[in-house]
Structure 1
Amino acid sequence: MTFRRTLLSLLIAAACAPAFAGTVDLASIDDATVSPRFIVKYRDGSAERTQPAASQRAMNAAAERARAQMGVRIAGLRGAAALRIDSLRTTLTGRRVVRASQRLDRTQAEALMRAIASDPNVESVSVDRLMRPTAMPNDPMLATHQMWHYGTGTGGARVTSAWNAGATGASVVVAVLDTGATHHVDLEQNLLPGYDFITDHEVSGRATDDRVPGGWDLGDFTVADQCGAGSTASSSSWHGTHVSGTIAEVTNNGIGGAGVAYDAKVVPVRVLGRCGGYTSDINDAIVWAAGGHIDGVPDNPNPAEVINMSLGGSHACEADTQAAIDKAISLGATVVVAAGNDNADVVGHSPASCARVVAVGATGYSGQRAGYSNYGSGVDVAAPGGAGVEGSPNGYIWSTHNTGATVPEGDHYVGMTGTSMATPHVSGIVALMQSVAARPLTPAQVEGVLVSSARPFPTKPDRAIGAGIVDAAAAVDRAKRFGQPIQSVPLTDNVVESMPPLAAGQGVIYAIDVPEGRSRLEFTSYSGRGTLAAYLNYESEPMPASNIGASVRPGTNQVLNVPSPAKGRYYIKVVATADAAGVLVRARTY
């Protein structure tokens, strides 16, 4: 009797099953629980394959079958009657993309797929798979130590979001003028041939005063009184190795951490040794790194688009240093400099106070100004430098290092703090920007994009440290779109123009080209009647939620100011929030 019932059940099941049921691919069923979209392949010659209306009718019928099969399993959603399947579009190969109106669990998704496949005109049903970012590296220290300063948290530079947008720094060269670099397994792969520019054997630790190729860090340890009477002994800092790692530490190799621009290459240029480094050597190195000629040294075969200088002294910018920087900039290199760690105005710190450099202040885990960071109107942007007070790991910037107390020994990773650590974040971000730009950005354009894309500080800093915290994702996005034409009305410097009448909700975009060396850009709208809002941006269309300046006063009188504007084009969007007419506008530079 049992056998007869089982046989009868099988016969009934066979009779109910369609003769040509399509195949059901459940390989990515988990994706269907996130976004219930499916790809349906209809048989050749079927109306559903070529006619969207026929496909939608088939989906309506499949939804009816699905509701019957799911039964109470779907009642817990928004009611069985609410379930529908929408036929969205045809793919390149003739398949149909369809979407369920409700989020489903695995059992419901499978039932729905089988209901679709039971149509004899359906050849197969599969999940419209979700692709996910593959940019997140597998280096263990990224998650445990570096995420606070690379990620999207309060103090992060949003580097991980820039990676997800496809920016890696590929094909960009960054020169690091510092103590040189060690032979670190997590760095050396991204090093290009460098040079040792130190011309004093007591500073370099070499046998002669000659400059030599390599750029390797031999150690900058000192003994008591070596750097002046009363100076104490110190171990080697391996400072250049740490800075270089933040820029381009080898990434996705399963060891250590990650670099900001992990597909960029670093040219190590040794300018700092025992007790520091000479300004004359540093100035020569600046020019050489950018591809300029220095007598007695072979030209750099890999000219840098970015020069990182996490160094400085407590004095104003000297003429020779400014000349070297000007030469490097004329060769296309963006010069990124640490603001300094004296808790003082950057105006008294060189080379950060030099013209046309990108000066970088430091912030900590919560986005506040690090107590040691120099400040002032000369600082362009801030970046994570570690404040120390948050403890380990969140109080420090983590990167490559060395175990040797004097000379290089084993590979190591340590946390350090300082504007020296903030600066390579910005240099790495510049490399990310250049790697995605349609054409290389000039140093002035790079500076303008960095400033205009910086995100606001979570709380106003106690001292001015730039436009905000550097935002890698926003800077990369702006670099991708840089130079794209925007329909605008050109303004002539200090010439009044009449704005056309605007109905509420309408707007007009103005543009003004700002030459190099101006101290202020001012835009004013006035007179007439109505109510306006005005927004300003650098080299991109301003929006209410994306701008570097906004004015939303009552009436037509709106004023926008940009101190120390970068060379380039600024756009001003004026929007009528109530009908406006008879308004005058003027843009003026000083």
Structure 2
Amino acid sequence: MIKKQNLRINVLAAAVLSMTAGMGMAQAADFKVSAPQKSTTAQQQGVDRIIVKYHAGTAAARDSSAKLSVVNSAFARASLSGVTANANARVAAFSPQVVRRLGVGADLVHLKSRLGAADLAKVLAELKADPSVQYAEADVKLQRVDLRPREVSPQLVPDDPYYAQYQWHLSSATGGINAPAAWDVAQGEGVVVAVLDTGILPEHPDFSGNLLEGYDFISDAETSRRATDDRVPGALDQGDWVENDNECYAGSLAEDSSWHGTHVAGTIAESTNNGVGMAGVAYKARVLPVRVLGKCGGYLSDIADAITWASGGTVTGIPANANPAEVINMSLGGGSACDALYQDAIDGAVSRGTTVVVAAGNSAANAANFRPASCNNVVAVGAARITGGIASYSNFGAVVDLAGPGGGGGVDGNPGGYVWQAGYDGATTPTSGAYTYMGMAGTSMASPHVAAVAALVQGAVADAGRDPLTPAQLETLLKQTARNFPVTIPAGTPIGTGIVDAKAALDEALKEPCTEDCGPTAIPLTNKVAVAGITGAAGSEALYSFEASAGKVVSFVTYGGTGNVSIYVGEGSEPTTTAFKAKSSRAGNAETVRITAPVAGTYYIKVVGEAAFTGVSLLATQ
């Protein structure tokens, strides 16, 4: 049964706030969000698992004894601290064993003893120097990305009893995603969204018929809290509580179970307009829960296999996925730039037509130094507050594509500081409490809003009888239709083109295709009349057009304002940053392109934000 009178604010499974029938939510005493959570590193964890992929056509790529020979040779060559100088003894000390083959074709190798950071670097360097090796990586654990508490027109208006009071992130004109207007158009029906997370509590009463069985990919019993290392059908969240401080890595804290995956899945497809609890964004989509995070996080090798399987790829020993996901959400991450294994798995998913949406991370740092946000072919999502401004913890930078509601934590109060969805109040196991609703904050919460809007779009275009958008097309659509931030985002901490807008994304996706005299949608320029006040985020693009006559020099100039822009010019077609007739890309906003011998026709001018910019003017002269 659901415990409706006990809603919980949970920022990484945190303090409980009670609400009695007929009364408002009580404020927790001195509830504050701590400094951003740091990602664990190989040095903190120690490593007893490494991943090696061999070049196709080499003996090691096909022969198990050759694989082990390559790894043993790397250990024999490496000069490891505190280990005998005898090469054979070094190999015996770590006794590498090939455990299994991953879905991307790499091999997981288990070591008898852990390698510290310095020795790990030496072993990986020796492996990478072997001509048969394509890449070698540490199989480190990654964590969910939410925050830790220091202390304890016609629109569908859902009848879910807590929707109006708590779920600002769906309807607020400043910080929300414009979901009510979108629900009149699409609800995500027929679309599968995989949630790679801590698993799911399938008996929560606000998931009604929209959960697929899923799979538990955790291959380590201590992490999964199952009896064996075997991967198993279903994705029941067994709890990710940690009993003791310093148990996961130096400086880690004991904590209760987070029920993170259930909350994330709720944002995507919690049952809506059913008279129960709260609402989800794409509430007729089906969630494919894939468990990859447990106690102390989850291994990179398991996450990579889960990406492959969820998108319809083959993973040895696991039954084929009967419901490949059109969209994958990963509200998880860790320190370091994107590694080859992650990129391999993501590229495979994208090649199968799956859009991969990821959280940017919560370290208030450049997302280029975090994975998977820094990987290519992902939609990386930063976090915005109820005000529409950047959340203090959100990672930022050029790799962040757009923002979603993540909540500002205590700075915006309750409920406005948190994203509210389905949850559980048990401290440990899934039998230790009652179903409830939780308020959480983080880029973990922002990412599923974007994934759910992607599901709305794919469902709508299918209903219209059109082919689904490719991952690249869908990413472009989401970025271009994002709503401008209602407050200024500091130029040094950009979080993409704007806040995801569900209705705008649907409107653009469902535009009738042009059949004659077609050209890109652009803002027309008038000769010698400047367009002023152009503003955008890092990575944003704005397209203008100019009708030129033949023979007379035409110039396109930007000037004024702050920030940094480039301009790209196309003759008769829209330019890109890699295909153009001419460009100007200097530091700042003073850009000039001169076409000395123009042809008669349309020139397209694209203004691109190299960094966030504001107050720029564009002038065409002929």
Q: How does the TM-score come out when normalised to structure 2?
A: 0.60
Look up the SS of the partner of 1:210 in the other structure.
coil
1:344 aligned residue (357, 360, 365) = 365
> What's the counterpart of residue 256 of structure 1?
277
Residues 1:553 and 2:618 aligned together? yes
Residues 1:167 and 2:216 aligned together? no
| Residue 410 of structure 1: how far off its partner (Å) | 1.7
> What's the counterpart of residue 435 of structure 2?
411
Q: 1:328-343 to 2 correspondence within 5 Å?
A: 328-343=349-364
> What's the counterpart of residue 480 of structure 1?
510
Do the aligned partners of 1:186 and 1:249 also contact (CA within 8 Å) in 2?
Answer: yes
| Counterpart code for 1:471 | D
> What's the counterpart of residue 423 of structure 1?
447
| Residue 136 of structure 1: how far off its partner (Å) | 2.3
Do the aligned partners of 1:317 and 1:350 also contact (CA within 8 Å) in 2?
Answer: yes
Q: Compared with structure 1, are the counterparts of its residues 135 and 223 closer, same or farther at alpha carbon in structure 2 (3 Å cutoff)?
A: same
> What's the counterpart of residue 574 of structure 2?
512
Look up the SS of the partner of 2:618 in the other structure.
coil
Separation (CA, whole Å) in 1 of partners of 2:173 and 2:414: 16
Look up the SS of the partner of 1:321 in the other structure.
helix
Q: Compared with structure 1, are the counterparts of its residues 498 and 346 closer, same or farther at alpha carbon in structure 2 (3 Å cutoff)?
A: same
| Residue 228 of structure 1: how far off its partner (Å) | 3.2
Q: 1:264-275 to 2 correspondence within 5 Å?
A: 264-275=285-296
Look up the SS of the partner of 1:181 in the other structure.
coil
> What's the counterpart of residue 122 of structure 1?
none
Question: Counting helix residues as a fraction of each chain, which structure ranks higher?
Answer: 1
Q: 1:108-507 to 2 correspondence within 5 Å?
A: 133=154, 135-146=156-167, 148-164=168-184, 166-182=185-201, 183-224=203-244, 225-229=246-250, 231-388=252-409, 389-408=411-430, 409-437=433-461, 438-462=466-490, 463-481=493-511, 483-485=513-515, 487-488=517-518, 499-500=548-549
Do the aligned partners of 1:535 and 1:549 also contact (CA within 8 Å) in 2?
Answer: no
The RMSD of aligned alpha carbons is 3.1
| Residue 482 of structure 1: how far off its partner (Å) | 7.1
Identical counterparts, % of pairs: 51
Q: Compared with structure 1, are the counterparts of its residues 455 and 500 closer, same or farther at alpha carbon in structure 2 (3 Å cutoff)?
A: same
Q: 1:163-216 deviations in whole A, cap 9, x for unaligned?
A: 13x111010000000000002110252101100000000000000000000011
| Residue 476 of structure 1: how far off its partner (Å) | 0.8
| Residue 555 of structure 1: how far off its partner (Å) | 4.1
Segments of structure 1 that go 5 or more residues without pairing to the other structure are 1-131, 491-496, 502-507, 539-547, 557-582, 584-590
Separation (CA, whole Å) in 2 of partners of 1:485 and 1:521: 28
Q: Compared with structure 1, are the counterparts of its residues 210 and 484 closer, same or farther at alpha carbon in structure 2 (3 Å cutoff)?
A: farther
Q: Compared with structure 1, are the counterparts of its residues 374 and 134 closer, same or farther at alpha carbon in structure 2 (3 Å cutoff)?
A: closer
Separation (CA, whole Å) in 2 of partners of 1:427 and 1:136: 22
| Counterpart code for 1:193 | E
Q: Compared with structure 1, are the counterparts of its residues 393 and 430 closer, same or farther at alpha carbon in structure 2 (3 Å cutoff)?
A: same
Q: Compared with structure 1, are the counterparts of its residues 488 and 229 closer, same or farther at alpha carbon in structure 2 (3 Å cutoff)?
A: closer
Look up the SS of the partner of 2:371 in the other structure.
coil
Q: 1:141-178 deviations in whole A, cap 9, x for unaligned?
A: 211110x21114111111112113x1110100000000
Q: Compared with structure 1, are the counterparts of its residues 133 and 199 closer, same or farther at alpha carbon in structure 2 (3 Å cutoff)?
A: same
| Residue 293 of structure 1: how far off its partner (Å) | 0.6
Q: 1:511-590 to 2 correspondence within 5 Å?
A: 511-512=573-574, 526=595, 553-556=618-621
Separation (CA, whole Å) in 2 of partners of 1:414 and 1:483: 42
Q: Compared with structure 1, are the counterparts of its residues 486 and 181 closer, same or farther at alpha carbon in structure 2 (3 Å cutoff)?
A: farther
Q: 1:28-177 to 2 correspondence within 5 Å?
A: 133=154, 135-146=156-167, 148-164=168-184, 166-177=185-196
Q: Compared with structure 1, are the counterparts of its residues 373 and 519 closer, same or farther at alpha carbon in structure 2 (3 Å cutoff)?
A: farther
Do the aligned partners of 2:292 and 2:306 also contact (CA within 8 Å) in 1?
Answer: yes
Do the aligned partners of 2:273 and 2:279 also contact (CA within 8 Å) in 1?
Answer: yes
> What's the counterpart of residue 146 of structure 2?
none
| Residue 241 of structure 1: how far off its partner (Å) | 0.3
> What's the counterpart of residue 578 of structure 1?
none
Q: Compared with structure 1, are the counterparts of its residues 432 and 484 closer, same or farther at alpha carbon in structure 2 (3 Å cutoff)?
A: farther
Q: 1:107-134 deviations in whole A, cap 9, x for unaligned?
A: xxxxxxxxxxxxxxxxxxxxxxxxx836
Segments of structure 2 that go 5 or more residues without pairing to the other structure are 1-152, 521-545, 551-569, 585-592
Do the aligned partners of 2:155 and 2:181 also contact (CA within 8 Å) in 1?
Answer: no
Q: Compared with structure 1, are the counterparts of its residues 286 and 486 closer, same or farther at alpha carbon in structure 2 (3 Å cutoff)?
A: farther
Do the aligned partners of 1:534 and 1:552 also contact (CA within 8 Å) in 2?
Answer: no
Look up the SS of the partner of 1:404 in the other structure.
coil
| Counterpart code for 1:207 | A
Look up the SS of the partner of 1:405 in the other structure.
coil
Do the aligned partners of 2:155 and 2:183 also contact (CA within 8 Å) in 1?
Answer: no
Q: Compared with structure 1, are the counterparts of its residues 144 and 174 closer, same or farther at alpha carbon in structure 2 (3 Å cutoff)?
A: same
Q: Compared with structure 1, are the counterparts of its residues 486 and 169 closer, same or farther at alpha carbon in structure 2 (3 Å cutoff)?
A: farther
Q: How many aligned residue pairs are there? A: 402
Do the aligned partners of 1:345 and 1:374 also contact (CA within 8 Å) in 2?
Answer: yes
- Higher mean displacement: 481-490 or 343-352: 481-490
| Counterpart code for 1:306 | V
| Residue 498 of structure 1: how far off its partner (Å) | 8.7
Separation (CA, whole Å) in 1 of partners of 2:213 and 2:272: 20
Look up the SS of the partner of 1:144 in the other structure.
helix
| Residue 483 of structure 1: how far off its partner (Å) | 4.9
